[in-house]
Chains A and B, each alone.
Chain A
């Protein structure tokens, strides 16, 4: 049973995959944008942080679900 719970928690944490790819793409585009237009750095940074925070939320949900699985199914 505990092995199955472990596998379930591991699957839940796979949500981090999407968040990692998303934040990576966002950051690469932001770097390009800043290189092309350094004067818009402030605005780009703000948008980047917002996008990262929203993309990261999915990973956090996965983490929270994994915790719930481990702590409450035990």
Chain B
């Protein structure tokens, strides 16, 4: 048990994969390496599947088309006409999060288990949400949107600016890390067979659901800024 506790403490800290020997050594965390690997694989798959598209789609093209169609429909439904320009970003984050949450199945540390990664993604989300408000209504309209339902709500609206990214970041990190800890505990008690169904729930179902929830909430907040 003491052994497990010390290992979990170790897992909580972001590990350094290697150090770039310039400026006295720049440490590169594992999450960055895994993220770059995911980027390379996804980019490669895009190039492979987008080559020679046909009017009458083949088997692989149907799969890709339905995936892209699903992502486009999902976000255009929420964001409407004005928000169409943000769909590619949200789709990219969805694909990245889905891959990185499921990658734990192959024995690779998921980058989303690192608090820094989820914090970065949440910061990007909140900046894009506020930017979409500024782009849609100009600086003045954006500032006015803080007093939206009534002026008394202004402090809460300003507070939301910090609570939203915090809760996005903590939700993703907590779910992935919590699932990881529970899986480790199950593996400690029964190492064979029994962990498999639990792994289906925690790694695949929960991972995909959290990826969906993250982009879903981002697009909902964005829609609020576009409309209000």
Contacts and interface: CB of A to CB of B under 8 A. Distances in A.
Interface in B161-182: 167, 170-171, 173-175, 177-178
A11 interface: no
Contacts of B171: 53, 56-57, 60
Nearest to B163: A57
Nearest to B209: A49
A60 B212 contact: no
Interface in B193-228: 212-213, 216-217, 220
B178 A63 contact: yes
Interface in A36-74: 46, 49-50, 53, 56-57, 60-61, 63-64, 67, 70-71
Contact of A64 (B174, B212, B213): B174
A53 B175 CA distance: 11
B157 to A, nearest CB: 17
Interface residues of A, number: 13
Nearest to A64: B174
Contact of B170 (A49, A50, A60): A60
B170 A64 contact: yes
B62 interface: no
Interface of A: 46, 49-50, 53, 56-57, 60-61, 63-64, 67, 70-71
A13 to B, nearest CB: 10
B66 interface: no
B178 A50 contact: no
A46 B213 CA distance: 10
B213 A57 contact: no
Contacts of B212: 49
A50 B174 contact: no
A60 B174 contact: yes
B52 interface: no
21 contacts: A46-B216, A49-B212, A49-B213, A50-B216, A53-B213, A57-B167, A57-B171, A60-B170, A60-B175, A60-B178, A61-B170, A61-B174, A63-B174, A63-B178, A64-B170, A64-B174, A67-B177, A70-B5, A71-B8, A71-B9, A71-B12
Contacts of A53: 171, 213, 216-217
B83 to A, nearest CB: 16
